[in-house]
Amino acid sequence: MYKKGFDSEKYLTLQSEKIAERIDEFGGKLYIEFGGKLFDDFHASRVLPGFEPDNKIKMLCKLKDRAEIVIVINSNDIAKNKVRADLGITYDQDVLRLIDVFKSYGLYVGSIVLSQYSADNESAKKFGAKLKKAGIKVYHHYTITGYPHNVPLIVSDDGYGKNDYIETTRDLVIITAPGPGSGKMATCLSQLYHEHKRGHKVGYAKYETFPIWNLPLNHMVNLAYEAATADLNDVNMIDPWHLAAYGKQAVNYNRDVEIFPVLNTIFEQIMGKSPYKSPTDMGVNMAGYAICDDAVCVEASRQEIIRRYFKALASERRNGSSPEESDKIALIMKGNNIDVNERKVVVAANAEEERRNCPAAAIELCDGTIITGKTNDLFGCSSSMILNALKYLAGIDKEVDLIDKHSIMPIQDLKIKYLGSKNPRLHIDEMLIALSSSAEHDVNAQRAIEQLPKLRGCEVHTTVLLAHNDEKFYRKLGVNLTSNPIFKDKQNAH
Per domain, the residue ranges of the chain are 8-290, 343-490
Tell me: pLDDT of 175 over 80: yes
pLDDT tier for residue 65 given thresholds of 50, 70 and 90? very high
Tell me: pLDDT of 180 over 80: yes
Q: Which CATH superfamily is 8-290 part of?
A: dip2346 domain like (3.10.630.10)
Main-chain phi, psi angles of 425, to 5 degrees = -70, 145
Q: What pLDDT sits at residue 336? A: 98
Span 421-435, mean pLDDT? 89
Q: How far apart are CA 375 and CA 359, in angstroms?
A: 6
Residue 300 three-state SS: helix
Main-chain phi, psi angles of 327, to 5 degrees = -65, -40
Q: What does DSSP assign to residue 216?
A: -
Q: How far apart are CA 413 and CA 424, in angstroms?
A: 7
Tell me: pLDDT of 191 over 60: yes
Q: What pLDDT sits at residue 492? A: 39
Omega before 211 within 30 of 0, i.e. cis: yes
CB neighbours of 333 closer than 8 A, spacing ≥ 6? 305, 306, 309, 339, 340
Q: What is the torsion angle, in degrees rounded to the nearest 10, for the CA atoms of residue 329, residue 333, residue 335 and residue 338? A: 170
Q: What pLDDT sits at residue 88? A: 79
Q: What pLDDT sits at residue 1? A: 63
Distances (CA, A) of 229 to 234, 236, 305, 402: 6, 10, 11, 42
Element spanning 484, H or E? none
Sign for the CA dihedral angle at 113, 116, 122, 123 comes to: negative
Residue 141 three-state SS: coil
Give alpha helix (H) positions in 134-248.
151-154, 184-197, 220-228, 240-246
Question: pLDDT by residue (tens digit) across 238-284?
Answer: 999 999 999 999 999 898 999 999 999 999 999 999 999 999 999 99
pLDDT tier for residue 412 given thresholds of 50, 70 and 90? confident
Question: pLDDT by residue (tens digit) across 325-375?
Answer: 999 999 999 999 999 999 999 999 999 999 999 999 999 999 999 999 999
Q: Tell me what percent of the residues of the chain surpass a pLDDT of 90.
A: 84
Of 360, 203, 335, 216, residue with least CA distance to 271: 203
Q: Within a 10 A sphere around the Cβ of 429, how many other Cβ atoms?
A: 14
Tell me: pLDDT of 454 over 70: yes
Please answer whether residues 171 and 29 qualify as being in contact, where contact means their C-beta atoms are separated by less than 8 angstroms. Answer: yes
**Starting at the edge strand that comes first in sequence, how are the strands of the sheet with 459-462 ordered?**
370-374, 360-364, 459-462, 480-483
Tell me: pLDDT of 203 over 60: yes
pLDDT tier for residue 86 given thresholds of 50, 70 and 90? confident
Residue 90 three-state SS: strand
Q: What pLDDT sits at residue 38? A: 81
Q: How far apart are CA 51 and CA 34, in angstroms?
A: 17
CB neighbours of 176 closer than 8 A, spacing ≥ 6? 34, 38, 69, 70, 71, 72, 98, 184
Q: How far apart are CA 88 and CA 66, in angstroms?
A: 33
Burial zone of 196 (CB within 10 Å; 0-12 exposed, 13-18 middle, 19+ buried)? middle
Q: How far apart are CA 144 and CA 338, in angstroms?
A: 45
pLDDT tier for residue 493 given thresholds of 50, 70 and 90? very low
Q: Can you spell out the DSSP letters for 443-476?
A: HHHHHHHTTGGGGTT-EEEESSBPPHHHHHHHHH
Kind of pairing between the strands at 459-462 and 360-364: antiparallel
Which architecture characterizes domain 343-490 according to CATH? 3-Layer(aba) Sandwich (3.40)
Q: What does DSSP assign to residue 490?
A: G
Of 462, 457, 460, 438, residue with least CA distance to 449: 438
Tell me: pLDDT of 446 over 80: yes
Q: What pLDDT sits at residue 167? A: 97
Kind of pairing between the strands at 480-483 and 459-462: parallel
Question: pLDDT by residue (tens digit) across 217-243?
Answer: 999 999 999 999 998 878 899 999 999
One-letter amino acid at 28 equals G
Span 8-34, mean pLDDT? 94
Mean pLDDT across the chain: 93
What is the crossing angle of helices 405-417 and 428-438, to 10°?
Answer: 140
Q: What pLDDT sits at residue 12? A: 95
pLDDT tier for residue 423 given thresholds of 50, 70 and 90? confident
Q: How far apart are CA 323 and CA 328, in angstroms?
A: 9
Omega before 180 within 30 of 0, i.e. cis: no
Q: How far apart are CA 59 and CA 39, in angstroms?
A: 10
pLDDT tier for residue 392 given thresholds of 50, 70 and 90? very high
What's the pTM? Answer: 0.91
Q: How far apart are CA 250 and CA 281, in angstroms?
A: 10
Q: How far apart are CA 200 and CA 186, in angstroms?
A: 19
Terminus-to-terminus CA distance in the chain, angstroms? 36
Span 457-480, mean pLDDT? 93
Question: pLDDT by residue (tens digit) across 107-155?
Answer: 999 999 999 999 999 999 999 999 999 999 999 999 999 999 999 999 9
Q: What pLDDT sits at residue 489? A: 63
Span 195-204, mean pLDDT? 94
